[in-house]
Amino acid sequence: MEMDDHKRRRNMILYVLIAFALYLVINQVLFPSLANKQMQITQVNYSTMLSDLTEKKVEDMDYKVGSDYVALYTRIGDDEGVAYQTNVLPGAEDYLSQLIEESGANVNVDIAQNNSNTWLYLLITFGPLIIFFLLGWWLNRKMKKAMGDDNPSMDFSSGFGGFGGGGGLGKSGARIVASKDVGVTFKDVAGQEEAKESLKEVVDFLEKPERYEAIGAKLPRGVLLVGPPGTGKTLIAKAVAGEAGVPFFSISGSEFVEMFVGRGAAKVRDLFKQAKEKAPCIVFIDEIDTIGKKRDGGGFSGNDEREQTLNQLLTEMDGFDNKKGIVVVAATNRPDSLDPALLRPGRFDRRVPMELPDLAGRKAILEIHAKDVKTQPPIDLTAIARATPGASGADLANIINEGALRAVRLGRSLATQEDFEESVEVVIAGQQRKSTVLSDHEKQVVSYHEIGHAIVAASQKEGAPVTKITIVPRTSGALGYTMQVEQDEKFLTTKQEVLDKLAVYCGGRAAEELIFGEMTTGAANDIEQATKLARNMITRFGMSEEFGMMALGTVQNAYLNQDTSLTCAPGTAERVDEAVQQVIADAHARALQILRENKFKLHELARYLYKKETITGEEFMTLLKRENPFMPGAGKPQV
């Protein structure tokens, strides 16, 4: 309380200075004429006034002032604002009027009275202060009502605090959702069964805390949700609040970042103050890595505001009484960048991973989102789930929505299986670019390129079957693509499967070289993917005979772009580059050999794709396996 009084006194001084500056502005800018009308009045004898009139020195005069005969006059040649005052003797009015007329003085000009000057001065001086106070008091009442205070009283210091505090710069700005308005439960979350099981314990504690208190167990103060973007971290936090029937405070980490030093920490204090008033409740901080990054050792980072905010968050989480039932749930996709003090037991006690859903999870997510869309049976969501490995919950929701949009665009009232299958391609490769018109030669090159991928993929024993080939340009920049879909989900990949995948990446460029004897830029993405896979094979997977089981790199941002940085000597890095180059060269030679053996089929399938532009995997396999009497060596086993 003593600290609060000190801060109030300090703020009051600041507010008075601001009000004085405001007075100067109003006085000099808005009311320059009023300020100039204040006059310096000097008392003189009646004989002095008569002498000035006789010598014709008087310029203006008004001697009828109130009920008293008091004369005010100005002299010719004096400074502006200087006047003289004297009492007029009773019975001398006629003589004075004649003397004024002979002197040529102006008796009609109104000279300001002394009493009116005083009131005007007081109005100009204290008027802005009164307006300033009333405005601050009104804003303070509005903010108290917004926070749920049923008895906002008129407090002088808080009235100035409402305005001088920057209009609520110290307020957390958290969005408060009442328990009855959360509207999300665990039924609305799919594909994250392990995370739901871990969080059900938190829900049970919030509902029945006496069970845990009886045995001496304590509720986790914080739960950290980590995972890639779009996996449902915010959704499952709302589901915890909805299941427990408690209020839900939602705020983003970036909202604590302020221009003024100390405001971020003030927002943290206000957030936990509101949480204590509404306890039991859930406090959800999204993207906590914004304020929770590791602090540097020297303390010269130049970002002291962020560190103050983090320190305040650490103090609040370690200080509140958890018997009231306040659970802090935070989400991030960069857990490696968080400060260790934030992750220790007693703050974020529990870490819940929110990984990308597997095949069963993807199907469950698709079913939840498909409930809101009118569909025309039969709808096979398993096929959609199988075609989207690595898709997040947000991606799957977008696929269902894109399918519904396509149905509306084509003038139908029900979405079909074809709509959803096309939406998979829209999310992965983008919309069809109808404005892009390829020349005949370019179209032929793209056809051979994609069939080259497909033939090499079909020749692999354990490879995923080809499901679709197209040479229709897409908005992602692809002029065509070959889609492969695994029949069953795989969690492990063998060395041979990696080499097969590298050969498939090289199949497009190999077909261009074999048929046209030239290279094009169409293989840019293939080269990028092949290089990344070959480098991971050597540096991360230990699939190199030269280096063996030696980790040569570390993964940064595992939940984002998964960039790998080498952690080896420069000489070793050169040898790694040579090994990567050799692996890709071997895969390219293997792809060339496969296409030479199937050159006739390469021509036949490329011409067929050129005419139809898009073919299914079934059409491709039928033509590839069909016996052709004109093919060299037909009916004989190929060597």
Among 36-50, 108-122, 605-619, the range with the most confident prediction by mean pLDDT is: 605-619
pLDDT 10s digits, 418-428 = 899 888 888 87
Joined tokens for residue 304: 């002291």
Alpha helix stretches (DSSP H) within 192-262: 193-207, 209-215, 233-244
Residue 635 within any structural domain of the chain:
no
pLDDT of residue 55: 73
Q: What is the DSSP letter of 138?
A: H
- Distance, in Å, from the CA atom of 134 to the CA atom of 163, rounded to the nearest integer, reads 10
Listed in sequence order, the residues at least 6 apart from 385 whose beta carbon sits closer than 8 Å to its beta carbon are 359, 362, 363, 366, 396
Residue 102 has a CB neighbour count (10 Å cut-off) of 11
Residue 361 has pLDDT above 80, yes or no: yes
One domain, residues 604 and 620: yes
Confidence band of 82 (pLDDT split at 50, 70, 90): confident
- Distance, in Å, from the CA atom of 168 to the CA atom of 264, rounded to the nearest integer, reads 12
DSSP annotation string for 426-470: HHHH-SB-TT----HHHHHHHHHHHHHHHHHHHT-SSSPPEEEEE
Confidence band of 189 (pLDDT split at 50, 70, 90): confident
Range of the domain at 18: 2-33+118-164
Section 310-327 average pLDDT:
77
One domain, residues 131 and 192: no
Section 33-55 average pLDDT:
66
Residue 224 has pLDDT above 80, yes or no: yes
One domain, residues 385 and 462: no
**Nearest-5° angle of CA 321, CA 326, CA 332?**
120
Task: Return the CATH number at 196.
Answer: 3.40.50.300
- Which of 69-78, 135-144, 206-215, 245-254 is the least confident region? 135-144
Residue type, 418: E
Closest CA to 423 of 442, 440, 399: 399
CB-count burial class (<10 Å; 0-12, 13-18, 19+) for 232:
buried
Specify the DSSP element, H or E, that contains 156: helix 156-164
pLDDT 10s digits, 267-310 = 888 888 888 888 788 888 888 988 888 877 554 455 567 788 88
One domain, residues 404 and 478: no
Task: Return the CATH number at 387.
Answer: 1.10.8.60
Active site residues: 450
pLDDT of residue 298: 53
One domain, residues 249 and 366: no
Residue 632 within any structural domain of the chain:
no
Compute CA distances 317 → 201, 244, 276, 293, whole Å: 20, 21, 12, 16
Return the SS3 of 561: coil
Section 573-582 average pLDDT:
92
Residue 338 within any structural domain of the chain:
yes
One domain, residues 127 and 183: no
Task: Please identify, among 336, 353, 370, the residue that sits at the C-terminal boundary of a domain.
Answer: 353
One domain, residues 514 and 492: yes
Phi, psi of 589 (to 5 degrees): -65, -40
Mean pLDDT of the chain: 78
Task: Return the CATH number at 606.
Answer: 1.20.58.760
Alpha helix stretches (DSSP H) within 327-465: 340-343, 359-370, 381-386, 393-409, 417-429, 440-458
- Distance, in Å, from the CA atom of 584 to the CA atom of 533, rounded to the nearest integer, reads 10
Contact yes or no for 192/361 (Cβ under 8 A): yes
Q: Which residue has the higher pLDDT, 148 or 71?
A: 71
The residues with which 222 forms a beta bridge, in sequence order, are 328
Residue 228 has a CB neighbour count (10 Å cut-off) of 18
Residue 247 within any structural domain of the chain:
yes
Task: Please identify, among 329, 353, 377, the residue that sits at the C-terminal boundary of a domain.
Answer: 353
pLDDT over 90 for what percent of the chain? Answer: 17
Residue 44 has pLDDT above 90, yes or no: no
Residue 624 has a CB neighbour count (10 Å cut-off) of 18
Confidence band of 148 (pLDDT split at 50, 70, 90): very low
pLDDT of residue 455: 93
**Domain count of the fold of the chain:** 5
Residue 132 within any structural domain of the chain:
yes
Section 87-111 average pLDDT:
64
326-332/222-226 β-pairing? parallel
pLDDT of residue 47: 75
Listed in sequence order, the residues at least 6 apart from 442 whose beta carbon sits closer than 8 Å to its beta carbon are 479
Residue 155 within any structural domain of the chain:
yes
Joined tokens for residue 396: 């799957």
Section 598-619 average pLDDT:
90
pLDDT 10s digits, 449-490 = 999 999 999 998 877 888 889 888 887 778 888 888 887 777
Residue type, 218: K
Listed in sequence order, the residues at least 6 apart from 312 whose beta carbon sits closer than 8 Å to its beta carbon are 264, 265, 268, 269
One domain, residues 141 and 275: no
- Distance, in Å, from the CA atom of 632 to the CA atom of 597, rounded to the nearest integer, reads 11
Task: Please identify, among 69, 96, 111, the residue that sits at the C-terminal boundary of a domain.
Answer: 111
One domain, residues 345 and 364: no
The residues with which 563 forms a beta bridge, in sequence order, are 556
Closest CA to 228 of 555, 554, 560, 561: 560
Residue 159 within any structural domain of the chain:
yes
One domain, residues 349 and 364: no
One domain, residues 492 and 519: yes
Specify the DSSP element, H or E, that contains 492: none
Phi, psi of 609 (to 5 degrees): -65, -35
pLDDT of residue 581: 94
- Distance, in Å, from the CA atom of 28 to the CA atom of 34, rounded to the nearest integer, reads 9
Task: Return the CATH number at 56.
Answer: 3.30.720.210
Q: What is the DSSP letter of 30?
A: I
Residue 394 has pLDDT above 70, yes or no: yes
Tokens 């051979």: give the residue: 448
pLDDT of residue 590: 94
- Distance, in Å, from the CA atom of 269 to the CA atom of 264, rounded to the nearest integer, reads 9
Contact yes or no for 333/230 (Cβ under 8 A): no
Length of the chain: 639
Confidence band of 594 (pLDDT split at 50, 70, 90): very high
Residue 1 has pLDDT above 50, yes or no: no
Compute CA distances 4 → 7, 11, 161, 308, whole Å: 5, 10, 12, 19
Compute CA distances 397 → 391, 402, 407, 417, whole Å: 10, 9, 16, 15
pLDDT of residue 21: 72
| For helices 599-612 and 440-458, angle between their N-to-C axes, nearest 10 degrees | 130
Residue type, 219: L
Specify the DSSP element, H or E, that contains 216: none
Closest CA to 247 of 195, 189, 325, 312: 325
pLDDT of residue 65: 42
| For helices 440-458 and 617-625, angle between their N-to-C axes, nearest 10 degrees | 80
pLDDT of residue 404: 92
One domain, residues 137 and 213: no
